[in-house]
Amino acid sequence: MTAKSFQPVKIGVIGLGRFGRLHSLTLARLAEAELVGVVARRQESLAAISKELPDVPGWTNLTQAIEESGAEAWVVACTTHSHVSVARELLERGKAVLLEKPIADSLEEAESLAPLVKPDSSNLMLGHILLFNSEFQELREVARERGPISYIDCVRHRPASIVENFPGENPLHAAMVHDLYSTQVLLDCAEPDHFSAQFHRTDTGDIDLAVAQLQWNGGPVASIAASYLTPAGMPPRGFDRTEVFGVGWSARIEPNPRPISVWDNEASWPLALEVRANPPSGMMAEELRCFCRVVRHREAVPTGATYSDAMQVQRWMEKLTAFV
């Protein structure tokens, strides 16, 4: 029996924001999955998704959705402050969970899930979508082949409008977390022994730039910047760049925006991220396929997506947040 020849996993999606919608549209078209339900706080969100997925039932009550949908696994893509309470209810019901990151608002909250998570984390996989980005996968392979890493430099810049649209949202938690996970994976989950961070604030006191430094036992150094600084004329999702240096080698990836630009009366970037739902391809589709294999016990949760990996990054975030 091949890795693909298993019964499609009955999956539901909780949260219908930007990523929740993409999860839903992608799952609806994957051979490995059967989308059996969506959950949102507002009826308006359910009405909107029903125009794209008219045959998929929706609920505003999670408990009712668990009981009636028949889903054996769930993607949790709601707001971060709801992650733990939602994941707890699902895990207590024996469901497998793909939980978007960060795992929680605080380390204490995240730790409360420990009694419910299996030792191999097979019932709780973290949504580290960049693990499945094709450039990042190639970068990991290059680093493995060429030897020890000396320095990692990551930048993740997002539109300045986020400060106004989402006041109080720290780029450390919303953006830098991606690069903390990526750095964790590139360095095989080794624990840093030095942390420092600096932050820039707007005139209103909101943080629009976070810069962090991590060092591993006198060895590798990582510098990570995340911001809400890009002007309106730049791509709608800003830009990302990761550079890695070793002895006698270096590598760079620039996965956002994707290399397609369109011009008419202005420039546009129609594929900011490696995510396409119709047909499903790119890093989200591969993440969801992996999750289905994990649910069917065809594959272990990958490094960077286990509960213990999430807890390690959560501890790093707590240490960096202490510098605010």
Give the DSSP per-residue string, 147-206.
Answer: --EEEEEEEEEEETHHHHHSTT--HIIIIIHHHHHHHHHHTTTPPPSEEEEEEEE-TTS-
Total residue length of the chain: 324
Task: Give a yes or no: residue 3 inside a domain.
Answer: no
For the residues 257-268, what does the mean pLDDT come to? Answer: 87
CATH number for the domain spanning 85: value is 3.40.50.720
Total count of domains within the chain: 2
pLDDT of residue 160: 97
Task: Give a yes or no: residue 323 inside a domain.
Answer: no
Average pLDDT over the chain reads 94
Asked if the model's pLDDT at residue 227 lies above 80, the reply is: yes
Q: Does residue 292 share a domain with residue 240?
A: no
Instruction: Say if strands 96-100 and 73-76 run parallel, antiparallel, or are unpaired.
Output: parallel
pLDDT of residue 4: 52
| Beta carbons of 241 and 152 less than 8 angstroms apart | no
How far apart are the C-alpha atoms of 300 and 293, rounded to whole Å? 8
Q: Does residue 104 share a domain with residue 44?
A: yes
Asked if the model's pLDDT at residue 58 lies above 80, the reply is: yes
pLDDT of residue 183: 98
Task: Tell me if residue 251 falls in helix, strand or coil.
Answer: strand
> For 92-126, how does the pLDDT look when each residue is reduced to its tens digit (9 = 90+)?
999 999 999 889 888 999 999 999 999 999 999 99
For the residues 137-157, what does the mean pLDDT come to? Answer: 96
Q: Does residue 141 share a domain with residue 250?
A: yes
pLDDT of residue 189: 96
- In order of 29, 119, 221, 287, 303, the CA distances from 20 in angstroms are 15, 27, 34, 14, 23
| Beta carbons of 12 and 65 less than 8 angstroms apart | yes
Q: How large a percentage of the chain has pLDDT more than 90?
A: 83
Q: Does residue 120 share a domain with residue 153?
A: no
Q: Does residue 74 share a domain with residue 185?
A: no
Q: DSSP for 36-101?
A: EEEE-SSHHHHHHHHHH-TTS-EES-HHHHHHHH--SEEEE-S-HHHHHHHHHHHHHTT-EEEEES
The backbone torsions φ and ψ at residue 173, rounded to the nearest 5 degrees and listed phi first, read: -85, -35
Q: Does residue 256 share a domain with residue 172?
A: yes
pLDDT of residue 86: 96
For the residues 173-182, what does the mean pLDDT come to? Answer: 94
For the residues 297-301, what does the mean pLDDT come to? Answer: 97
Task: Give a yes or no: residue 106 inside a domain.
Answer: yes
Q: Does residue 86 share a domain with residue 180?
A: no
Asked if the model's pLDDT at residue 73 lies above 60, the reply is: yes
Asked if the model's pLDDT at residue 52 lies above 90, the reply is: yes
Closest CA to 187 of 121, 247, 246, 124: 246
Supply 173's token pair: 């938690």
Instruction: Say if strands 275-277 and 280-282 run parallel, antiparallel, or are unpaired.
Output: antiparallel
pTM of the model: 0.92
Q: Does residue 262 share a domain with residue 158?
A: yes
Query: The domain containing residue 41 runs over which residues?
Result: 9-129+286-305
| Beta carbons of 294 and 122 less than 8 angstroms apart | yes
Task: Tell me if residue 230 falls in helix, strand or coil.
Answer: strand
Band of residue 290 on the pLDDT scale cut at 50, 70, 90 = very high
Band of residue 1 on the pLDDT scale cut at 50, 70, 90 = very low
Task: Give a yes or no: residue 310 inside a domain.
Answer: no
Task: Give a yes or no: residue 182 inside a domain.
Answer: yes
> For 191-215, how does the pLDDT look when each residue is reduced to its tens digit (9 = 90+)?
999 999 999 999 999 999 999 999 9
For the residues 28-55, what does the mean pLDDT come to? Answer: 96
Task: Give a yes or no: residue 96 inside a domain.
Answer: yes
pLDDT of residue 2: 46
Task: Give a yes or no: residue 53 inside a domain.
Answer: yes
pLDDT of residue 26: 97
Asked if the model's pLDDT at residue 255 lies above 50, the reply is: yes
CATH number for the domain spanning 257: value is 3.30.360.10
Q: Does residue 111 share a domain with residue 176?
A: no
| Beta carbons of 96 and 74 less than 8 angstroms apart | yes
pLDDT of residue 258: 85
Asked if the model's pLDDT at residue 281 lies above 90, the reply is: no
For the residues 248-260, what does the mean pLDDT come to? Answer: 92
For the residues 167-192, what does the mean pLDDT come to? Answer: 95
Asked if the model's pLDDT at residue 80 lies above 90, the reply is: no
